[in-house]
Copies of this chain bind each other. A is one copy, B any other.
Amino acid sequence: MTRGVSPASHVCHAPVIVKRPGKIGNCPNPADYIANAPQIRRAVLDRLRGQSVLSAALFDKDLLTELAKFAAYLQLKRFEVGTAMSDKIMAAAFFEPSTRTRLSFESAMLHLGGKTISVADGKTTGVAKGESMRDIGQMFNSYADVVVVRHTEQAALSEMCEYLRVPLINGGNGSDEHPTQALADWYALLKWRPEITFGRLPEEFRLNIGIIGTPGNMRTVKSFLMLALLFHENINRITIFSEMADPLGEELRELTKNSPITIGFSQSLTQNLEYLDVIYMNAIAYIGDGYRFFADAFSLSSESRIKPDTVILHPLARGVELDVSLDDTPHNLYFNQADGAVWIRQALLLAIFGRVADVVPPDMLDNEPLPNT
């Protein structure tokens, strides 16, 4: 046998091996979440069938709980989903550029065997020529079975819905909402403390949440706050850290005033750090017609006096407000939050297409109908 290659061949340089790191930060096990209620309530998730997701207000506690359970199973790779969406096309229409949200949705759809078409940059579209969002909505009817949209304008999405016959998912619209980011945020928190859904925390352990930012004009914190209201039984207080006079704005003021959760305001993060169990940070706010960096006054690092078991969320990309010294600490739930986004979005897509029962084995499915209301 000749091989022509001498095993003793002169090697000019030792092959360079790149070391790959392990996971860092706080990585709660999805299995802990589903342990509380293993079966998936089909009738609850079926409420999403054919639905557009414009606002976090689409979700109530039941729906968010079942969606998070479904996501946990997907993350644990318990279900066969590789061809579940093979006949479906998702359009990712990002008229405002974004990498994380677009790639996350595309990755979610591809994981499910679906297909994707994309607009990565609004400047390459008819929008640049002054086309109306309504006509753009009509366009997607022919091309896709679901459309994920990001846009700088708050009104763009509802305008798009006027002629759009397939479900639309809000991937962030101006200063309004980012509902699937909020799903990812709460998916991380629910895995971290399953009791938020599945129990009632003793009064002294009810959560104190700090939000750094102005929910009234920052879409991620707005949607996050709206979902927080669903878990009022286990949240003691939400403190908003902002330099603005009216960080809530009218819509959220209306929503929060009916909530049993105490909403507080502060301009001093450092003085309140020792009370906070969850800190939600954000880098930028969309104000008027552009983005403003929002971080200077409120920054955290491993030097900050955070409680040992406090977790930090951040939708990323981050600026200087969130120091890398926190990355390799248990406070870092933000990487887990990012990792989970792709799974909760898979769960959402499967539910919108009514394919829950196609991928969940029958014995894992609770087929009880919804109670009459």
Which residues of B are found within 8 Å of A283, using beta-carbon distances? 129
Q: Tell whether A361 is near chain B: CB-to-CB under 8 Å.
A: no
A141 within 8 Å of B (CB atoms) = yes
Cβ B37 vs Cβ A143 within 8 A: no
Q: What is the CA–CA distance of A38 and B120 in the complex, to the nearest angstrom?
A: 42
List B contacts of A198 (CB < 8 A): 4-5
| Residues A35-69 near B (CB distance < 8 A) | 36-37, 41, 47, 50-52, 54-55, 57-63, 65
Q: List 20 A-B contacts (CB under 8 A).
A: A4-B65, A4-B197, A5-B61, A7-B371, A13-B226, A15-B47, A15-B57, A18-B158, A18-B168, A22-B165, A82-B86, A89-B111, A99-B119, A99-B124, A107-B142, A118-B120, A121-B121, A131-B317, A139-B316, A141-B339
| Assembly stoichiometry (copies) | 3
Assess the A317–B20 pair: CB atoms within 8 A: no
In Å, the complex CA distance between A259 and B258 comes to 75
The number of chain A residues touching the other chain, given as a range, is 35 or more
Contacts of A199 in B (CB 8 A): 4
Q: Interface readout for A17-33 with B: 1 if CB under 8 Å, 0 if not? A: 11111111000000000
- The reply to whether A62 and B142 form a contact with Cβ atoms under 8 Å apart is no
Q: Report the bound CA distance from A260 to B261 in whole Å.
A: 77
B125 near A4: Cβ-Cβ < 8 Å: no
Is A163 on the interface with B (CB-CB < 8 A)? yes
Residue from A21, A103, A120, A162 with most neighbouring chain B CB atoms (10 Å): A103
Chain B residues with CB below 8 A from A98, complex form: 124
User: How far is the CB of A19 from the nearest CB of chain B, in Å?
Assistant: 8
Is A185's beta carbon under 8 Å from chain B? no
Top 3 A-B pairs, shortest CB-CB distance: A97-B124, A4-B198, A126-B317
Could you tell me if B99 and A52 are in contact, using CB atoms closer than 8 angstroms? no
A161 touches B (CB below 8 Å): yes
Residues of B within 8 A of A103 (CB): 91, 117, 119, 139, 143
Q: How far is the CA of A258 from the CA of B13 in the complex (A)?
A: 10
* Closest Cβ neighbor of A143 among chain B residues: B107
Using Cβ atoms and an 8 Å threshold, which residues of chain B touch A116?
Answer: 117
Taking a contact as CB atoms under 8 Å apart, the answer to whether A23 and B165 are in contact is yes
Contact of A138 among B10, B13, B18, B335 (CB under 8 A): B335
Q: Does A362 contact B (CB under 8 A)?
A: no
- Write the nearest CB–CB distance from A199 to chain B, whole angstroms: 7
Q: For the complex, give the distance between the alpha carbons of A11 and B63 in Å.
A: 11
Selected contact of A62 from candidates B7, B89, B141, B158, CB within 8 Å: B7
Pick from B55, B111, B162, B341: contact of A21, CB below 8 A. Answer: B162
